[in-house]
Structure 1
Amino acid sequence: MTDENAQSRRRLLELAGVTASVGGLAALAGCASGTSDDAEGDDGDDSSSDDGTGDGDGKKDDTEESKSDEEDEKPKSDGPDRPVLFVHGGMGSATQFESQAMRFTSNGYPQEYLAAYEYDSLAFEEIQADVIAGVHERVERLLAETGADGVDVLAHSLGTQVLQSYLADPDRAESVANYVNIDGREADSPPGGVPTLALWALGNEDAEIGGAKNEFFEQGHVEVATSEEAFGAIYEFLTDDPPETTQIEPEPADEVTVSGRALVFPDNVGLEGATLEVYAINPKTGAREETVATQTIKDDGRWGPLEVDGTDHHEFVVRECNGVSSHVYRQPELRSNGFVRLLVGEPGGLTDELVDRGPDHTALVINRDKEWWADQGDASDELLIDETSVLTDATAPLEDGIVTPMVFDAGEDGETDVTQPVPAFQALPFLTGINTHIPAADPPDDVVSVTGVSRDGDGLERTVKVPNRPSDEHRMTVHLPDHEQTR
């Protein structure tokens, strides 16, 4: 990690009231000195972030070379025979493309035609030129691999700044057939003259890209990148035909494979040399029932593909050579998925510095790529830890755009207080800290129940049960889908 990157992290931690040494931050990846660069694989994904505002603030990108309305624009190219590249936003990764990728394959797209470019968004100001160069390399490689006449690019939030800068170069713009600008930068005209669809979320009702097709959704900033409704608009724009389905079509349970990357959050650095263990677990207890696979993670964080039973719950364990064990719990997979991200918070890292850890209590990260809203009356989301409802008007209001609640015993005093967020998290985008005491033991002697109820799910409860592992030795994440489908 460069000095500039370490300083970016220190600045953000200081905003949250945390003091951390540059030396400690430089050790984010433990003994794993992986990269955030793109590599070969099923999803062909690569590697950056925004300031958490989503860049949907009505500002035009100062780096874009403006085109007048009179200039010729490229004719729109249609058809599912082109690859699709996703570029994420601030604090993001390819996990925001996971559901949409499965919708694309449900409509006949080959898995190898879907890719993501991942980068370190907190260091974006320092590495912007490298990010744009990385996108260009990925576009060129997709063209070479597929023989297509162009790449369709989807960019979200900060990713729209990346793409609008990228498309300002006419030679680079020639390689992009269509562009989808998701709740990010405005522009006077379609960037680079490329046919453009602009999707906007709540708070950006009046935003637009001149000369483009603009659509507004009453959805959150992250939700508009991952939702079924957005997919329908994206697919029809890219192909000139509506999709056969906007659902994720389940595959036979015995035909499901998964693959992805294990990455430091939010740096998107691959955990080179770490060991991945995958277990089928008992959905009622979280206990391990069968070892599915054990692999050494590659230098870019890539792992898989693995054959899994699509009816099983799974625990993914990333064991690093610095002694850190990270556990990611996932519900049954609907279909093959090349964009599974195992996001790890490293000791001394951005999120780890803010979480109180100890041998007597469990800490949980709950991730869903759709905002949690708790202040919308009957149209609110719910999140229960055992019998405690931890989302409130204060911890997850609509205006805060919370995607990832972090539940832990703040102050290690054995008390629970969900009436207000943990103060240190209030300076950070997309995250909220919720003070909840969950007793732990080593070895575990109890089960923690995590239940999410979506505002759009007609009462559907998604429950994941995990052992009460102590937070000083185990980093635990529960991943809940951003859609409402089940097997």
Structure 2
Amino acid sequence: MQSRRTLLAMAVIGTAATAMLTACATSSPAPSYAERPPIVFVHGNGDSAALWQTTVWRFESNGWPADRLFAFDQPNPLARDDDAVAQPGRSSTAESAAFLKAEVDKVLKATGAGKVVLIGNSRGGNTIRNYVQNGGGAAVVSHVVLGGNPAHGIWAVKGFRENNEFSGLSGFMQQLNAPKGPNGDEATPGVKWMTLRSDNNDKYAQPDGVWIGAPGKPTNIGFDGPALKGATNVVLPRVDHRETSFSPPAFAATWQFLTGQAPRSTDVAAQANVVLGGRVIGAENQALNGATVTVYAVDPTTGARLGSAALTQAIGADGRWGPFKARGDTAHEFVLATPGNGTTHIYRSPFPRSSNFVHLRPERITPADNGASSVVVFTRPRGYFDAQRDTMRFDGKSPPAGVPPKGAGVSTSRLRLEGGGAPRAVTGEFNGERVTGLTWPAATEHTTVLELTY
């Protein structure tokens, strides 16, 4: 697993090095360890801070101080259908930018720094651009890195949801991209900008509307939609939408942009003592007060529990769970019991480093699951499944159910087992990472989730 990721990162660095070194050649020398500025990571549409876990690990592994790396859960992270119309459980562009400003202000106060670095994925890039351009961020932000940001929209079709923030024709997007400065840049002057995009594998930067429910219809957005005039624009071959931020090549390009040097490694360095924690949250990133978290060490080949529970914790109003002292060589089962949402058994690979972003979300039984004896979900939060690019298998089947033969647009596969019987092991494999869990009875609202880390 690590070797494949390292080779891919090396290949990307090789193809992009000339452009990036040129961009960094005129910058000041790389800051010392003590001078590293705070970094604030901004997640995307419907996501949480948990997606930045491996990116934070890579920054720490290369010497960036852990106490200068910040990620937050935006309340109601989904964009409104119409940005000007209030919608329950969703946020406007103005609300999102105001949330970011408040978090940046907290970071500046806590660290005493004069400026921060902002790194955003997908919709997080819209939020960053809005804050920098319209919310005073230009005065306190030194660098911005945007991965997979729909900088010109996901579609630009007259009469089709034009006031959605992802429409290239929306007033929001038009004012963000209005020419600025003497060169007519789209990026706000005074801040150093970099965009990271796929060559042609980002589901939200496609000329065809297949991934927005309109196959065969033009979106009027090209593969280069995330690029910005006035930014250093880097292409990462074959990465998918999420990998533009969360992959080893994305980290390598970001480190180079911020420091003027290649990282020592894109691998995650193991720690001797691993402490885990996070939040228990629902779809709107609200805390699930009253839930219970139980953690077990499990056999990585069978999913069977190794002894009694290592942690049992009731969840309060803040949604926090932990701290939990884990072994970095041990796989775990996180049992999340939530009132009204059943019980979710989340199986994870060993954690090589500590993290405060091990967020737990319930997986619900759906009407389509009626009649199933067990339901197992195989999920990759930090990327998508690509049948043409990846080596993967779910319960012996390749590609997993629901994964299309072409394109990277699906990040989960759902298995509905029939017939009942005793619990059995189910394994999901992806490019060398292997997660095994046990089936649980769907009739009593138990589900199994095999969650990939990489």
With the length of structure 1 as denominator, give the TM-score of the two structures.
0.68
Q: Which amino acid aligns with 2:70?
A: A
Aligned partner of 1:475 among 436, 443, 447: 447
Q: Within the alignment, does 1:121 sit opposite 2:130 as a pair?
A: no
Change (3 A) 1:200 1:313: same
Written as runs of structure 1 = structure 2, the 5 A alignment for 1:59-208 is 79=31, 81-119=36-74, 120-124=76-80, 125=83, 126=86, 127-128=91-92, 129-169=94-134, 171-184=136-149, 185-186=151-152, 187=177, 188-191=185-188, 193-203=190-200, 204=205, 205-207=223-225, 208=227
How far did 1:358 drift? 4.4
Contact 1:451 1:464 in 2 (8 A): yes
Q: Provide the rounded CA distance (Å) in 2 between the counterparts of 1:337 and 1:183.
A: 24
Q: Which runs of 5+ in 2 are unaligned?
A: 1-26, 153-176, 178-184, 206-222
Q: Within the alignment, does 1:367 sit opposite 2:380 as a pair?
A: yes
How far did 1:83 drift? 1.4
**Counterpart for residue 211 of structure 1:** 230
Q: Which runs of 5+ in 1 are unaligned?
A: 1-74, 347-351, 409-436, 455-459, 483-487
Change (3 A) 1:288 1:224: same
Contact 1:362 1:438 in 2 (8 A): no
Change (3 A) 1:181 1:273: same
Change (3 A) 1:358 1:225: same
**Counterpart for residue 268 of structure 2:** 248
Contact 2:372 2:418 in 1 (8 A): no
How far did 1:461 drift? 5.4
Contact 1:277 1:293 in 2 (8 A): yes
Written as runs of structure 1 = structure 2, the 5 A alignment for 1:48-447 is 79=31, 81-119=36-74, 120-124=76-80, 125=83, 126=86, 127-128=91-92, 129-169=94-134, 171-184=136-149, 185-186=151-152, 187=177, 188-191=185-188, 193-203=190-200, 204=205, 205-207=223-225, 208-218=227-237, 219-252=239-272, 255-265=273-283, 267-289=284-306, 290-322=308-340, 324-346=342-364, 352-353=365-366, 355-358=368-371, 360-374=373-387, 376=388, 379-385=389-395, 387-391=396-400, 395-408=403-416, 437-441=417-421, 445-447=422-424
Q: Provide the rounded CA distance (Å) in 1 between the counterparts of 2:426 and 2:49.
A: 27
Change (3 A) 1:439 1:369: farther
Structure 2 counterpart SS, 1:230:
helix
Kindly indicate whether structure 1 or structure 2 has the higher relative contact order, using CA contacts under 8 Å at least 6 residues apart.
1
List per-residue Cα deviations over 1:165-218 (Å, max 9, x = no partner).
111126322121211111111544323531111101143543421121110011
Q: What is the percent sequence identity of the aligned residues?
A: 28
With the length of structure 2 as denominator, give the TM-score of the two structures.
0.73
Aligned residue-pair number = 359
Change (3 A) 1:281 1:293: same
Q: Provide the rounded CA distance (Å) in 2 between the counterparts of 1:404 and 1:354.
A: 18
Bigger shift: residues 461-470 or 131-140:
461-470
Q: Which amino acid aligns with 2:233?
A: N
RMSD: 2.4
How far did 1:77 drift? 9.4
Bigger shift: residues 304-313 or 365-374:
365-374
**Counterpart for residue 215 of structure 2:** none
**Counterpart for residue 33 of structure 1:** none
How far did 1:327 drift? 1.5
Q: Provide the rounded CA distance (Å) in 1 between the counterparts of 2:28 and 2:228.
A: 16
Q: Provide the rounded CA distance (Å) in 1 between the counterparts of 2:433 and 2:97.
A: 41
